[in-house]
Structure 1
Amino acid sequence: MVGRSGHDPGEDAGSPTFSPSAELPPLSPADLGVLRQVGARWQIPDTVRALPVDPQAGEIRSSAVGGAHRAAMLFLPDAPGQLTATPVVERPDTAQGRVAGGLRRLLLGRPLTSASILRERMSKIVALPVLASDLLSSVAYGPEAMLAVLVLAGSGALGLSLPIAAALVVLMVAVGTSYRQTVRAYPHGAGSYLVASDSLGPRAGLAAAAGLVLDYVLTVSVSVSAGVAAITSALPSLAAYRVPFALAVIGVLLIGNLRGIRVAGNAFAVPTYVFLVAVLGLIAVGFVRAATGGFTVVAPPPTPAVEGLGLLVVLRAFASGATSMTGVEAVSNAVPVFRPTAWRNARTVLTWMISILILLFVGLTLLFHLNGLVPRADQTLLSQLARLTFPTGPWYAIIQAATALVLLLAANTAFNDLPRLLYFMARDGYVPRRFLHLGDRLALSNGLIALAVAAAAILVAFGGDTHSLIPLYAVGVFLAFTLSQTGMVNHWRHHRDPGWRRRASINGVGAVLSAVVLVTAAVTKFVEGAWAVVLAVPLLIYLFRRVRRHYDHVQQALGLHPDHPAGVEPAEDAPPAVVPQQVRHLFLVPVARLNQAALRTLAYVGSLGQPALALHVSPERTEADHFREQWNTWGDHIPLETILSPHRVIIQPLAGYASALGLTHPDLTITVVVPDVVVDHPWQRMLHYRTEQRLRRALRRHPGIVVTSLPTHLTR
């Protein structure tokens, strides 16, 4: 049984999955064949390979530091034709760059080498709190979301919380067991996106990916807002500052994750364990108190019904309580971050997560029921239970602090998983390829930043209100759950290994239950905000496919194509020749005045031995005649063309002339070489006319035209 990426499930697929080389994939055998064919036609004179320098000379590999006489190694020789850059040469060489680099090192730490990626993986003890923080912390608001729907039918309907909780436990077991099988069958990660793409087709994979993208962004927004709500429940005076505080938390999480997987895991693991101990202690003491009273159920305060109790209310409560399961996907997405054997350790952690979730969810739901607690606007249910269980002493404050901290850090699960999902999608060409990039600390930095920005925008838009965000929550994640489990059913049907019917049945149950939650959440919460997710999923799928079409077009335009043998004329739509003897040059040099910068540029172009033409744009004929006299005084070594611009426009006439040459002579490669004055300070750039940059913008859409510059540095 081999997964989509070609890895056998028995191997540790972690190391090759997230590779710094992913941004530069190797050529296919077909491309290598074309490359060999094209290279055979190249005709290069021997003078091209007769270099005037030694590329690995000692003077190149080392240099004086800061004007001192001691030499610092810039490059280390590895093999003929290969050098390794040292940290000395990787540092910025400007004052602004050094300041930015120092700040970067202060916030993120020193850069890690590519070889360090294997050391960045996590043990099970660290991975459990890092990947389970979202799943486990959701018990702080999942049971409350369920009761908040039931209480709409009056306090008498709260008794239905127990059978609904039992149904949710069945769902947790089914989905958790299903994902254990997913981890085993797909040990290289990517979860629902990969499973659905592999077994149901690309569109199903994109639908699962869209659901997960929305889920992870909302995970950050909901978790952080819920954490802030826990703080404001204990300290109501801080309620006015919940949005700024939430944004600050997102910033801290971003910086922590940019520091690397291992560092973030070690930093964020302790609060989750503190939360587990605190809530387990709360449940234990709560049941001891209930036992001393004979498990007598306290009647909830009378609450008038605003809706009739019916199947729709029950289904809405079931869907709201199912938000406690967000985060189950985390392990299947993050298999590569585990130490070897990655898939086996991931399954173990997933089993721990589901077991602890059921224990916390059932324990808290029973205690809410036994103590007759109902949702309140000014205080969370967990806060009410903690106050009731620990009326004196520091324990209430400890539980609230632990709950707030773990809710704030629950967003870290999304920071672990969404960048990896975007990595796999970028590898398939559905999102920008910059999401393949590993940052200084071997973290998927662009994905982390994109998540932080999107979550912050949603949090600000909803004013940091948890109850407004939760209706958006279940649709995306259960869409991914449904597609993933349905894909696993197809996976077992196609492979038919021993025991495949039992495995397919388990995944089938998970798919059906997930689909029930998906449809219920989409229908019952549509007017509360779920409509935004229902519309966002197809919109994201459309955007993913547009990105893929663009990359396919780029591949078609820039990919290696079979060349044409000598004597055979290419077709009209064939790509341009890529052999040097078929390239014809024309150099254009814009000259405003004859000074050192212009003369150096003209000398450079003249040394190339290729046809060259100088261009001068003049506002009036008198100035043009004076410039031509100066040109003739210089010696008229290069042909000059003057262009009169009656309206004193400079860039457009230059660009128009170069474009006209390119259109009338498509066989020419036109290189515009602009004299450029290099200044010392950024503010001095405003004092000079940035001809090269403006010409580059004007000519970027014209094929066959190259814009470059020859710098002249000012001397002190």
Structure 2
Amino acid sequence: MPGISGSLKRLVVGRPFSSDRLSRERLPKRLALPTFAADALSAVAYAPDEILLTLAVGGVTTYALSPWVGLAVVALMVVVIITHRTIIHEYPSGGGDFEVAQKNLGPRAGRVVGAALLVDYVLTVAVSVAQASTYAASTTSFLHGYEVRISLAVIAVIAVVNLRGVRDSNVVLAVPVYLFMAALGVLMIAGAYGTITGTLGQAPSAGLDLVVTDPVEEGLTALGGVFLILRAFTSGCAALTGVEAVSNGVPSLQPPKSHNASIVLGMVGIAASVLIMGVIWLAGATGVKYVENPAEQLARSGEPVGEAYHQVPVIGQIAQAVFGGTGVLFALVILATVLVLCMAANTAFNGFPILTSILARSRYLPRQFAVRGDRLAYSNGIIALAAASGVLVWATGAEVTLLIQMYIVGVFVSFAFGQAGMVRHFNARLRVEAQSARRQRLRLGRLINQIGFVIVATVLAVVVITKFAEGAWVALLLMAVLLLLMTGISHHYEDVRSQLELPQTAADSDAAAPVGIQDAAGDSAGERTSSSADQDSDSGFSWQRRALSSRAVVLVTALNRPAIRALDVAAASRHMEVEALTVKNDEARTRQLIDRWRDLDIPMSLRIVYSPYREFSGPILAYVSSLTRRHPDDVVVVYIPEYLVGHWWEALLHNHAMNRLKHQLTMLPRVVIATVPWQLTSARERSRFFRDHLQRARTRRGRRP
């Protein structure tokens, strides 16, 4: 019977899905577009705001340049999309810029890109939910002051939806994205009609004046003006953060994956470009004024508006001008904007777990991030993203402008490394390609990525220079910490692998018995039953009543040194029967284990139990339980190989499934658990340290060591 925690998990997450369903959990284009477009489209709700907010510092002159800044952002988006289409076709496995950098520039570059993208995903969630709460609070007065709580609640809800699985989240969340596109489409059509007919209203802030302080007026030289425009441009570049979501999410699409991903990426770029330029144009047409500090930067009749003025975000002001401050269409635009910002956070909840699983398989993050949960989602990645973004929202008080200053640094770092990696990729292919037509296509691809690298690297430099003091240093610091962490994890896993792996040559064996590999899927390994017959019914016990024989089961998850030692110990213990047992929850790893088993010619049966729900303990418990029922007079000894580490932080990097399994096995009748330890170097050094310390203590007390 499941415990309270298990029942709560089922209530929140739902019933588990079989791994067989995984191949069916693929997104068609109609669902992939809203899933991966939400990030880029949501930038329409804050990128124009940040452009106008930054330009407002320079007064009316620089404020009027907003359409040109918007065009520069759109032009950069076109370049990035074209270059990323080559990544999608050349690397369709979903690694995106990380995979390109890892394979072409080396592991260190791969870790840099991985750290940058992780930070970018966390900031995507934080910025999106913070702006959503700002819209909700600015148009609904009773929510004002609750922005942080609203943001945290939205993060929690989206995390739960994603924990329930791919299809459930994307089908439900596709509607708001299409609603946003339709609502803004209607807004722009109505605005264009009002402009043509002369009936277009004015925004609530249209009658206000921009206040420029004397130091700014005096100091705004040509160089200062250029710097201000560049800051506005880099703020608008937040619209590009949705591009990498498509390249990282290629595995989630239906085949042909690369073709469909390219189409989705192009549609995302077109939609985002049209909407961003439309909002900036309507902001100018309706006279929107949007500043960072309205109490001081906006004036009415020469006097600052003061703290009583309530500033509404740009799309809200445009909707008020076009549809009036009330009405169904106005409410629809605001609702759609809030929802699409929430869906942008959902896009990160799709991309972040995929990226962490790739990093975990590359041994840069703990291996738990590579394990799918009950509903086929990478649950650990989802939970980690929810926690990190929640902490960031709480720490910044859900201040969008502050979060924007930290934003986009990570994504442009990944863009730059990705483009450099693609140039090297095409160079490598050109060295071996002889066919003229293919060489021509490869040269074109290389040229595209060379141009992309120059442009993206330049923008990255501008982003760092213009935003470093305002908050970009925080993002860079987080990336540096993650880089050091991933480097340490990588070195640890590599050290463990070198200590545990077997020699590549076949092991010598005196026995010539054939290797037996049996599939135990038919032994009802997926369920566990128990009855009173499993327990000893007699109240007394006599050694003379019966002699118990024993059977051994050796758990094998990988054929390494600890596993071989456990097999040796079990074979030397003279059981009636000894067999190895492994759980098949990963097809590739199980096949690798079988091939290695045969190569070593181990004279022992290898039994395979299938786990369709990727559970580790359940199939083992079911098989051992069935073994005790089939042999009621025997004791079953379960040998568990276990390697010991010397530091607490090393223990955090390894799955604790064996500890849980040992506890569960103690509940089974006539089952004995035998742990076969294998000390890693750190554990041996720790043991040696304590032995030396004890010896010195005894020597000081005058006792013989």
Q: 2:290 matched to 1:302?
A: no
Aligned twin of 1:343: 258
Residue in structure 1 matched with residue 393 of structure 2 by the alignment? 459
Q: TM-score, normalised by structure 2?
A: 0.67
Q: How far apart, in 2, do the equivalents of 1:429 and 1:120 lie?
A: 26
Residue matched to 2:474:
532
AA aligned opposite 2:444: R
- Specify the alignment match of 2:115 in structure 1: 210
The residue aligned with 1:550 is 492
Structure-to-structure mapping, 1:157-168, within 5 angstroms: 157-168=62-73
Partners of 2:148 and 2:398 within 8 A in 1: yes
Q: For 1:235-250, what aligned pairs fall within 5 Å after superposition?
A: 235-250=140-155
What is the CA deviation profile of residues 263-295 of structure 1, one whole-angstrom value per residue up to 9, with x for unaligned ones? 100111101111110011111111111122399
1:441 aligns with 2:375: yes
**CA positional deviation for 1:250:** 0.7
Change in Cα spacing, 1:581 to 1:254, as seen in structure 2 (3 Å) is closer
Where in structure 1 are there 5+ consecutive unaligned residues? 1-92, 568-573, 586-606, 609-673, 681-691, 706-716
The CA distance in 1 between the partners of 2:368 and 2:90, in whole Å, is: 29
Say if 1:195 and 1:241 are closer, same or farther in 2 by CA, change over 3 A: same
In the other structure, the counterpart of 1:356 is 271
Q: Which amino acid aligns with 1:384?
A: Q
How many Å separate the matches in 2 of 1:348 and 1:513?
23
Asked whether 1:109 is paired with 2:97, we answer no
The separation in 1 between residues aligned to 2:313 and 2:22, in whole angstroms, is: 42
Structure 2 CA distance for aligned equivalents of residues 426 and 268 of structure 1: 28
- Report whether the alignment pairs 1:381 with 2:314: yes
How far apart are residue 702 of structure 1 and its match?
6.6
> Hey, what's the Cα distance between the residues in 2 that align with 1:210 and 1:220?
16
Please give the secondary structure, in 2, of the residue aligned with 1:328: helix
Q: How far apart are the structure 1 equivalents of 2:568 and 2:415?
A: 55
- Alpha-carbon contact 1:169-1:358 (below 8 Å) kept: yes
Q: Is 1:483 the counterpart of 2:422 in the alignment?
A: no
Contact 2:116 2:410 in 1 (8 A): yes
Query: CA RMSD for the aligned pairs?
Result: 3.4
Residues 137, 145 of structure 2: 8 Å contact kept: no
Offset of residue 375 of structure 1: 0.9
Question: Is the aligned partner of 1:289 residue 2:198?
Answer: no
CA distance 1:294–1:170, shift in 2 (3 Å) = farther
For 1:275, the equivalent position in structure 2 comes to: 180
Q: How does 1:373-412 map to 2 (within 5 A)?
A: 373-376=288-291, 377=294, 378-391=311-324, 392-412=326-346
Q: Normalising by the residue count of structure 1, what TM-score does the alignment of the two structures yield?
A: 0.66
Alpha-carbon separation, structure 2, partners of 1:474 and 1:183: 21
- Would the aligned equivalents of 2:501 and 2:561 in 1 still touch at CA under 8 Å? no
User: Residue 143 of structure 1 contacts residue 324 of structure 1 at CA under 8 Å; is this kept in 2?
Assistant: no
Contact 1:228 1:242 in 2 (8 A): yes
**Compared with structure 1, are the counterparts of its residues 503 and 296 closer, same or farther at alpha carbon in structure 2 (3 Å cutoff)?**
farther
Task: Indicate which of 232, 240, 245 corresponds to 1:317.
Answer: 232
* Cα pair 2:124 2:348 within 8 Å, conserved: yes
1:327 aligns with 2:242: yes
Query: How far apart are the structure 2 equivalents of 1:198 and 1:575?
Result: 30
**Equivalent residue number for residue 708 of structure 1:** none
Map residues 92-241 of structure 1 onto 2, 5 A cutoff. 93=1, 97-241=2-146
Distance (whole Å) between structure 1 residues aligned to residue 108 and residue 685 of structure 2: 35
- Over 3 Å counting, the alpha-carbon distance change for 1:675 and 1:549 in structure 2 is closer
CA deviation vs aligned residue, 1:397-443 (integer Å, no higher than 9, x gap) = 11111101111221001100011111111111111110111001100
Q: Distance in 2 between matches of 1:401 and 1:459?
A: 21
Q: Secondary structure at the match of 1:240?
A: coil
Partner Cα distance (1:547, 1:449) in 2: 20
Largest Rg, 1 or 2? 1
| SS of residue in 1 equivalent to 2:212 | coil
How many residues align? The count is 505
- 1:502 aligned to 2:469? no
Shift of 1:525: 1.3
- The verdict on how the C-alpha distance between 1:201 and 1:371 changes in structure 2, with shifts beyond 3 A counting, is same
3-state SS of the aligned residue for 1:256? helix
Segments of 5+ residues of structure 2 without an aligned counterpart are 295-310, 431-438, 511-559, 574-633, 636-661, 669-673, 688-705
Q: Is residue 2:199 matched to residue 1:257?
A: no
Deviation at 1:326, TM superposition (A): 1.1
Aligned residue type for 2:155: I
Cα distance in 2 between the residues matched to 1:285 and 1:535 = 45
Q: Is the 8 A contact 1:216 1:418 kept in 2?
A: yes
Aligned-partner Cα distance in 2 for 1:369–1:517 = 26
Deviation at 1:190, TM superposition (A): 1.1
Residue in 2 aligned with 1:514? 456
Deviation at 1:260, TM superposition (A): 0.6
Q: 1:486 to 1:98 in 2, by over 3 A?
A: same
Q: Is the 8 A contact 1:335 1:342 kept in 2?
A: yes
